[in-house]
Structure 1
Amino acid sequence: MIESAMEALRIVLDPSRILFMCLGIGLGIVVGLLPGLGGTVGMSLLLPFVFGMDPFVGMALLIGMVAVVHTGDTFPSVLLGIPGSSGSQATIMDGFPLAKKGEASRAMGAALFCSMIGGVIGGVALYLAIPIAAPLITSFNSPVLFMLTMLGLSMAGLLAGDSPAKGALSGLMGLMIGSVGSAPAITEYRYTFDFLYLSNGLSLPVVALAIFAFPILITMLTHKGSVAEANRLKGGVLKGVGDALKNKFLIMRSAVLGSLIGFIPGLGGSVVDWLAYGAGKKTVRNNKFGEGDIRGVIAPESANNAKEGGSLIPTLLFGIPGSGTTAILLGGLILMGLEAGPRMLTTELPLTLSIVWTLVIANIIGAILCMTLVKPISKLSLIPGEKLVPFLTILLLIGAYQSNFAWGDIIAFIAIGLLGYIMTILDWPRPPLLIGFVLAISAERYYWISIERYGWEWLSNPIVITIGVLIVMLLTGGSIMKKISNNLQREGV
């Protein structure tokens, strides 16, 4: 295992792959920096460009972005009091009050350093999970793989926040959209409406771009003006790093909590920061959380980056995406000719280990880069939204068109994009739709293989029954944790 890890490190340090990793890091910082975008939009922007890429290069680009989105989103949270993404909401509670006191740089220094440490711990958690999961996952047959797919689909309810029913319906819509075109087990075409373009199904990049990025364009146009007023920064980045070092045990506790929460599919960034913040408040003595306590920044920032390493465990090893970002990452694997599951621990083990190294290295580079550029990079948050729309529109249209080089891609992009915008108006969750779309073909394929090989006897398989019970437990436990997180948020923990 250690020899394989060293070989993966050699592959990652290849200059061409380092270049793409740095490109992903730069884009991830910018995406996190601009409120309203977030990891799902950023990943969907990159997805069309990884089609046909060398897997090591493509994953360097994607993981580079995943690793640092929650590093970049610290800027608007601390400087402007606006969450850069769902994973930086709790940071506002103490980060913004510190900025009002003229200690924004101190808060930024602590937050960025903790994000780096948390990301490294998340990468270590992913590495340690590989030898444990390897003997288990390589023994899975088609019924077990089908149930694992169902486990991924069941996460749709958890991703819906307070409305599991909306999440389930959103996931079903994703299944329907994913079933357009030729059926994997029978010789027929479904939902094509006699359009030749639809016979091969809809493209994953088109759906991802449309469902996440298109609504943002409309929002930027309707909410004119700058994101926020200018904020001035004072010295103190190194002081913030010193504060973090003084609270090393809080960093470790929060990062481990973030990795564990990330491992549970369906929870993700909107929960982990509040749980870490609440746990920090309960365990830190003489705290003044909510009034500008630096420890109120350290706890959530240590957890949200560590969560990424934990969330990659079910995504890569079991094919279970627990969020929109990991669903897009799973789609990226498909576009590069790979499939999550047993292959990631056997023939593709070097790629899996390269992801671990990329996650660790990207977190370190991203944090150091942000610390160096605290003052100039903060000015990007002041760009008016409408000025970004033309650039993003061109980028999105090019990304959609290059999927199949067909005008149908543009039409599908607009149609599904309007559906995504309607979902935002009605407060329907969009990540479950993408998860349903990504897993639609796999679910149907594993189902028919199971029926053909085992009839209905596979339902009595002990592992199948265990996964079924696990689905019920996760849905129940996840709902309880969501309620706890919402209570903490309402109370301003």
Structure 2
Amino acid sequence: MVDAILSGLDQVLQWETLLLMVIGIFIGFIVGILPGLGGAVAIALLLPFTFAMEPVQGIVFLLSMWIVTGTAGDITSVLFGIPGEATSAAAVLDGYPMTKKGQAGRALGIVLTSSTIGIVFGALVLGVFITIIRPLVLLLGPPEFFMLVLLGLAFVITLAGKSPAKGIAMVALGLLASYIGLDPTAGLPRYTFDQLYLWGGIELIPVVVGLFGGAEVLQLMLTRSSIATSSIGDAKLSGTMRGVGDAFRHWFLAVRSSSIGVVIGMLPGLGGTVAQWISYGQARQTSKDPQQFGKGAVDGLVAAGATNNAKDAGSLIPTIAFGIPGGAATAVLLGGFLVLGITPGQAMLTTQLDVTFSMVWTVVIAGILGVALALAVVRPLASLTRIPGTVLVPVLLLFLVIGAYTASNNWGDLFVMLGASALGVACLKWDWPRVPFLLALVLGAQLEQYLNLSNTLFASDWLTRPGVLVIGVIVLATVVFGVRSVARDHKRRAADQPVEGPRTRVIRTIGDNQ
């Protein structure tokens, strides 16, 4: 085992391999900043360039590019409110409000430092559990996955803000949108309105780009001001170091969020989008000041940043162990493995163990170098938030169009992005939560898929499986804890309001008349 670890490091540190890693980091950084492209697209586009490479060189090139896209995606989420990837959407909720307060440097310091913690933790878990995770994952079936999806939806109570009823309504709307397309059982179109584009369902990336980025750009267009409205020069490097300190002060939350990212990432089919919202929900539930979430909460940004990179390491575990990709990017990466002559499964855990550990070292080294690159350009990036909106909006609109169109290279995606932007603006105007809609849209199809598989394979017997019962108890506890948290918030707000007696009303009436 030790020989394989050292051999993997030695192969990564060869100068040709390091050069390819640096090239991959720069490409991943650019791809991550551009909304909508994402790691899966980058891997697919650059996969042909690996045909002539040695296996470890090709793996290092593809992996380093993919790992950095998540880090770079957080940058656009924080600075412009436009998620670089769907898995960076949670960073918008607290990172962008901090930017509008003139604290862009601090927000970037928080999210990038949390990303580093997530990278290191995820790589450690990947290295330790890569040889023992196969039996654990194989214990889970469609019924357990169905319950895990329910667990993700249970967090909507804490993500709905002051009004759980609004959150539940947005979940219903999101679930309805998720069922647009072909019925997976009958093969018949549902809610497609005779539009061929809708047969494939609604693409997630245009929705994310429009719901968060489009809505904020439209708001910026209407105000005609810069993103950062504060005159405090906190976008400088000193603000960044303050954010670094904030992240380290919340190290336990970062580790806990990284754990969630790894666990959800290793479950095939759930993906990083689910992980970030579960992580964000648990951070709000355990926060001492949950009212600040969505307004610039440090712990919310820590949870989003740590989860975003930890889930990538987690998704590599089932991909390496038995060739089941954890998400879209690892599915494309799996094709890259086969092209390079590497077969996931028993070989990567025995005879090719050094190649496996070269991937672990790549995750650590490329992740840390990507964060270092991001920190190096924090000052010029943060200064972009003070550019007048009349100059910045056209550029951001171009990013929105590129991000939406590249989802499937279909003009219909632009209309989906515009519709999501309108929905986002309406949510901002009338104080409706956007996250429950997105969460339901992501989980709706999986909820239906795992329910159908459970009923087909086990009839009603799956309801008594031990894993289902355990996760069911966790779901119930999450709902109860969430309801109590919302009730406690209502009581706290009611207690903070002054009691208005007769004398107070008389004085206020006299003042109003004057």
Quickly name the TM-score band, shorter chain normalised: 0.5 to 0.7
Partner of 1:398: 402
1:294-333 aligned at under 5 Å gives the runs 305-309=305-309
Q: Does 1:456 align with 2:455?
A: no
Describe the shift of the 1:275–1:171 C-alpha distance in structure 2 as closer, same or farther (beyond 3 A).
Answer: closer
1:344, 1:352 within 8 Å by CA — same for their partners in 2?
A: no
Q: Secondary structure at the match of 1:428?
A: coil
- 1:209 and 1:235 map into 2 onto residues whose CA distance is 28
Residue in 2 that maps onto 1:163: 163
One-letter amino acid of the structure 1 residue matched with residue 215 of structure 2: P
Q: Is the 8 A contact 2:111 2:304 kept in 1?
A: no
**Corresponding residue of 2:442:** 438
The one-letter amino acid paired with 1:190 is: R
Does the CA-based 8 Å contact 2:70-2:309 persist in structure 1?
A: no
Larger Rg: 2
Q: Matched residues in 2 for 1:448 and 1:181: separation? A: 16
Aligned amino acid, residue 439 of structure 2: I
Distance across 2 between alignment mates of 1:120 and 1:202 = 31
Residues of 2 paired with 1:482 and 1:6: CA distance?
Answer: 53
User: Percent identity among equivalent residues?
Assistant: 26
Distance across 1 between alignment mates of 2:159 and 2:346: 31
The amino acid that maps onto 1:476 is V
Q: Matches of residues 376-387 of structure 1 in structure 2 within 5 Å?
A: 376-387=380-391
Distance 1:334 1:222, change over 3 A: farther
Calculate the aligned-residue CA RMSD, in Å.
Answer: 5.5
Counterpart for residue 178 of structure 2: 178
Cα offset, 1:460, TM superposition: 1.8
Equivalent in the alignment of 1:471: 475
Q: Equivalents in 1 of 2:448, 2:394: separation in Å?
A: 39
Name the structure 2 match of 1:290. none
Aligned amino acid, residue 389 of structure 1: V
Amino acid in the other structure paired with 2:412:
G
- For residue 411 of structure 1, what is the aligned residue in structure 2? 415
Please tell me whether the aligned partners of residues 25 and 370 of structure 2 are also in contact (alpha carbons under 8 angstroms).
no
State the alpha-carbon separation in 2 of the partners of residues 109 and 144 from structure 1.
Answer: 36
When residues 348 and 236 of structure 1 are mapped into structure 2, their CA distance, relative to the original with a 3 A threshold, is same
Q: Deviation of residue 190 (structure 1)?
A: 0.7
How far does the alpha carbon of each residue in 1:155-192 deviate from its partner, in whole angstroms, 9 at most, with x for none? 33332233333333323222211211210011311111
- The amino acid that maps onto 1:64 is V
Change (3 A) 1:136 1:230: same
Verify the 8 A CA contact 2:155 2:482 in the aligned structure 1. no
Counterpart for residue 149 of structure 1: 149
3-state DSSP of counterpart to 2:153:
helix
Seen in structure 2, the aligned counterparts of structure 1 residues 371 and 140 have a Cα distance that, compared at 3 Å, is: closer
Preserved CA contact (<8 Å) 1:182 1:190: yes
More divergent stretch after superposition (152-161 vs 129-138): 129-138
TM-score, normalising length from structure 1? 0.65
Extract unaligned runs of 5+ from structure 1: 32-41, 77-83, 279-295, 319-328
1:19 to 23, 43, 60: 23
Aligned residues: 430
Alignment partner of 1:186: what SS? coil
Which whole-Å deviations, capped at 9, do the CAs of 1:111-155 have from their partners, x for residues lacking one?
Answer: 699557634544356435666654222222222222222223333
Alpha-carbon spacing, 1:188–1:87, altered in 2? closer, same or farther (3 Å): same
1:256 aligned to 2:255?
yes
Contact 2:118 2:258 in 1 (8 A): no
| Structure-1 residue corresponding to 2:338 | none
TM-superposed deviation, 1:236: 8.7
Point out the more displaced range, 474-483 or 6-15: 6-15
* TM-score, structure 2 normalization: 0.62
Q: How far 1:448 sits from its partner (Å)?
A: 1.8
Alignment CA distance shift 1:466-1:195 (3 Å): same
Superposed, 1:54-203 pairs within 5 Å as 60-61=64-65, 63-67=67-71, 85-87=92-94, 115=114, 118-124=117-123, 126-127=125-126, 128=128, 133-203=133-203
Counterpart residue identity of residue 141, structure 1 = G
Partner residue in 1 for 2:204? 204
Q: SS at the partner of 1:227? A: coil
Q: 1:206 to 1:354 in 2, by over 3 A?
A: farther
8 Å contact from structure 1 (residues 73, 85) kept in 2: yes
